[in-house]
Amino acid sequence: MNYYYYSPSQNAFYPYAMKRDYVNAGSWPDAGIDVAEAVFEKYTATPPMGKMRVAGADGLPAWGDIPPAPPPTPEERQQQAESQKWSLIQPIRGKIEPLQDAVYLDIATEEEKIALTEWHRYRLALYRVDCTTAPDVKWPEQPK
């Protein structure tokens, strides 16, 4: 049976079979607890959903809740807004091009001319969106 040394401060297992190597490298932890292979196997396997290995109050490994992600930074919020902005701008070309073709060929209906103007205005409004105000970005309304 293999035994391991568990370091609560490092939240790591160290096999006794390699102790000399760790000591020679200066990386064998000062404080730890001897654990059986079954404990090692349990806490090095895939953790339960929403859990991660932590050092328990008793110094032994335990499953603890994964902490929630921190809220995005202002820079991350701005990047998210920029991504959203470009994801809104990209498909507009598919709306504008056929309408533009009809106008160019002088066969556009009044509805198509109005729609073309509305899509151009919407695209321009998107280009002018100030993403530095994220998450309070004022998004223009898409044409119907």
**pLDDT tens sequence across 6-35:** 999 999 999 999 999 999 999 999 999 999
The H or E element that residue 53 is part of is strand 51-55
pTM: 0.60
**pLDDT tens across 49-66, in order?**
999 999 999 999 999 999
Which residues, in sequence order, are CB contacts of 78 under 8 Å at separation 6+? Answer: 131, 132, 134
Backbone φ and ψ of 104, nearest 5°: -60, -40
Q: How many CB atoms lie within 10 A of CB 114?
A: 13
| pLDDT tens per residue, range 77-131 | 999 999 999 999 999 999 999 999 999 999 999 999 999 999 999 999 999 999 9
